[in-house]
Amino acid sequence: MAHTEAPRPSVSDSGRGENRTHWRLVDISEPRTIADLGEFGLIRRIIAALPPADSAVVGPGDDAAVLACPDGQVVASTDLLIENRHFRRDWSTANDIGHKAAARNFADIVAMGAHPRSLLVGLAVPPELELSWLDSLLAGFAEECAEVGAEVVGGDVSAADSVLLAVTALGDLAGRPPVRMSGARPGNVVAITGRLGWAAAGYAVLSRGFRSPVQVVNAHRRPEPPYSEGIRAAELGATAMTDVSDGLVVDLGHLAEASGVRIDLRRDALEPAAKLRDVSSALNTDPMMWVLGGGDDYALVATFPNETRLPDSWQVVGMVNEGSGVRVDGLRWAHAGHQHFR
């Protein structure tokens, strides 16, 4: 399916500070964009670009995937990522976007105390999208899958005006009961693992047109959820757990509501890291807004029986009490996390 375009003008820098327009020969037998591949060529390229789904009973290419569920149950979560709402192609590389799209979904699986095993990737892209962008996106998916021990087992493709990803992750509880949001009980401690506020600080930096400091910008571009800590929390006897995707206070609010309890956070246990304080003072903002209201780092927050001996990776930040809602040092926090539709 070669494309037959004429040689295209290409602008190159001569190296002497002078831009010259010249003609460059393009190999017309080599597909360059999604449109050159067509739908089925695209599907073949996706399947070829990803590692084989060895664990699947039926992998990509059939009407549906078939996956083993040795303990007789499966954990399933789905997420939409829409260009210019969840990511920007000028802020993040395709590789970053693939990593993040997988990571968000894996964080939901891990927050149930499960091991992410499989990913279904719905991918809608403009026909004129460069194949190099696609390849980099797929590499991001494959790398994040390798990180957690999961595989892409299926998906769907469509044309669209902008890039859109619909990712479904499936996970394995290995016979454990799921850690739900409804199990927190008065007297439990509240503990977190992973970072809070870094991605929000990165977003703030990028929003103002900056590209550094790289630590916070990269936290926005490519979150690193504490994957192994989800199963660890389940094994430690966590009574409730969720991942922080919309902001600590908002996500704990859902957990408090589901459990019918009040959650009291201690502000001194949530002190922003020095880097966040630096960035916030440069931007003249309050770093606690990022810590308490920022999502997208995919930290895990869980409740445990008071007597649980928590490893160093988990930090106690509050208590579960009778009542409702979330308080910080006894006060309601005014700044909510991210909401769509505003």
User: Is residue 339 close enough to count as binding a second copy by CB under 8 A?
Assistant: yes
Given 50, 65, 317, 326, the residue binding a second copy (CB under 8 A): 65
Which residues between 272 and 331 bind a second copy (CB under 8 A)? Answer: none
Q: What minimum distance in Å lies between the beta carbon of 55 and a second copy?
A: 12
Distance of CA 65 to the CA centre of its chain: 23
Candidate list 46, 103, 134, 181; residue touching a second copy; CB under 8 A: 181
The span of 23-31, 161-169, 186-194, 308-316 binding a second copy (CB under 8 A) equals 161-169
The distance of closest approach from Cβ of residue 71 to a second copy in the complex, given in angstroms and rounded to an integer, is: 8
CA of 93: how far to CAs of 135, 139, 140, in Å?
Answer: 11, 11, 10
Q: Contact with a second copy (CB under 8 A): which of 7, 85, 174, 311? A: 85
Distances in whole angstroms, Cα of residue 298 to Cα of each of 36, 144, 191, 197, 342: 37, 14, 14, 10, 22
Nearer to a second copy, 173 or 236 (CB): 173
Instruction: Work out the number of other CB atoms within 10 angstroms of the CB of residue 16.
Output: 6
Backbone angles phi, psi at 133, to 5 degrees: -65, -45
Regarding 72 and contact with a second copy (CB under 8 A), the answer is yes
- Residue 89 corresponds to which tokens in the numbers above? 């192609």
Per CB under 8 A, the list member of 55, 93, 136, 168 interacting with a second copy is: 168
Burial string for 310-333 (b: 16+ CB within 10 Å, else e) reads beeebeebbbbeeeeebbbeeeeb
Q: Is 78 in the site for a second copy (CB under 8 A)?
A: yes
3-class state of residue 234 by DSSP: helix
Query: Does residue 77 interact with a second copy by CB under 8 A?
Result: yes
Binding mask 251-270 for a second copy (x = CB under 8 A): ---x---x------------
**Interface with a second copy (CB under 8 A), residue from 12, 51, 68, 146:** 68
Q: How far is CA 324 from CA 37, 252, 263, 327, in A?
A: 55, 11, 7, 9
- Binding segment for a second copy (CB under 8 A), chosen from 95-103, 120-128, 260-268, 324-332, is 120-128
Count of residues binding a second copy (CB under 8 A)? 71
With CB under 8 A as the contact rule, which of the stretches 5-13, 62-70, 198-206, 312-320 interacts with a second copy?
Answer: 62-70
**Binding of residue 37 to a second copy (CB under 8 A):** yes
Given 53, 67, 137, 217, the residue binding a second copy (CB under 8 A): 67
- SS3 call for 153: strand
Shortest CB 165 distance to a second copy, Å: 9
Helix (H, G, I), strand (E, B) or coil at 110: helix
d(CA 342, CA 339) in angstroms, rounded, equals: 7
Beta strands in 285-333 (DSSP E): 300-304, 315-321, 325-328
Contact with a second copy (CB under 8 A) among 10, 158, 207, 315: 158
Work out whether 154 is an interface residue with a second copy (CB under 8 A): yes
Q: Is 109 in the site for a second copy (CB under 8 A)?
A: yes
Residue 79 engages a second copy in binding (rule: CB under 8 A) = yes
Which of 54-62, 144-152, 191-199, 206-214 is the region at the interface with a second copy (rule: CB under 8 A)?
54-62
CB of 169 to a second copy, least distance (A): 8
Separation in Å, CA 89 to CA 86, 129, 219, 295, 333 = 10, 11, 16, 20, 33
292-305 core/surface letters (b: 16 or more CB in 10 A; e: else): bbbbbbbbbbbbbe
By CB under 8 A, is residue 186 in contact with a second copy? Answer: no
158 or 315: CB nearest a second copy: 158
Q: How far apart are CA 208 and CA 195, in angstroms?
A: 22
